[in-house]
A = this chain, B = another copy of it.
Amino acid sequence: MEKKLRTKDKIVQASIELFNAQGERQVTTNHIAAHLGISPGNLYYHFRNKEDILRHIFKEYTRLLESRIQPPGDSTEALDALANYLDVVFELMWRFHFFYANLPDILARDPALHKEYQAVQEQVLARVVRVLNALRQAGVVEMPEQEISEFAHTIKLVVTFWISYLKTQAPEQTIDQASVYQGVLKVLLLFKPYASPAAMPRILQLQQHYQRLAGLPTSMSV
């Protein structure tokens, strides 16, 4: 579909790759240019500075997020909406894990990006609240209505900082796709005490699905 990327796009793609592999902080504009075999001057022709590149990457991330998430409020079943949310969020989290590995640092350096991030997060929070309300109305979870908003924040916190947590725990910063998907299991664990008996089988089924993605034996209890 798009065989020859323009230099500008190549810079964005190479940056994502290098940031994920080595950490955003360790990768300089010179490294990116060298990796592509272009000059630093050329890179600065296409982007004003490193923050500019990061803003473009975030835009790409947002675009993917919005295109992948199911339109809200349609006829899909409540638990499927949850699974869709988890699938999309954790897949993108893996593809852009450098961003989550140092989120406060990256946002602190660029107020403009921070604002964009917050705008997106408001949408995400609203989405999570909608999914939770649907689960509640479908009788999948039993939870006081006033707690939903707070619970949504807790979920968002666990999701957002799962990768950071991994990095603080791991001896080396070896983040792989399987370890990222272990975060989904942590989120499901938050749901478990609220699950209605009738919904338990389906929740256990979801759990096994993600245990496979996380490279864990499915017999393992969570």
| A147 touching B221 in the complex, CB below 8 Å, given contacts A154-B186, A157-B158, A157-B186 | yes
* B-chain residues with CB within 8 Å of residue A193 when the two chains form the complex: 143, 193-194
Number of interface residues of A (CB under 8 A): 42
**Contact present for B104 and A153 (CB under 8 Å):** no
| A189 touching B104 in the complex, CB below 8 Å, given contacts A161-B161, A161-B165 | no
**Contact present for A168 and B221 (CB under 8 Å):** no
Q: Check A208 for interface membership: any CB of B closer than 8 A.
A: no
Per the bound structure, the CA–CA distance linking A173 and B186 in Å amounts to 28
Q: Check A23 for interface membership: any CB of B closer than 8 A.
A: yes
Binary CB contact string for chain A from 189 to 204 against chain B (1 if under 8 A, 0 otherwise) = 1101110000000000
**Contact present for B105 and A168 (CB under 8 Å):** no
Q: Check A63 for interface membership: any CB of B closer than 8 A.
A: no
Binary CB contact string for chain A from 90 to 123 against chain B (1 if under 8 A, 0 otherwise) = 0000000000011111011000001001100100
Identify A167's interface contact among B23, B107, B121, B162, CB under 8 A: B107
Q: Which of A106-152 contact B (CB under 8 A)?
A: 107-108, 114, 117-118, 121, 143-144, 146-147, 150-151
Interface positions of A (Cβ within 8 A of B): 23, 25, 101-105, 107-108, 114, 117-118, 121, 143-144, 146-147, 150-151, 153-154, 156-158, 160-162, 164-165, 167-169, 171, 173, 186, 189-190, 192-194, 221-222
A-B pairs with lowest CB-CB distance, top 8: A193-B193, A161-B161, A157-B165, A146-B221, A104-B164, A105-B105, A104-B167, A102-B105
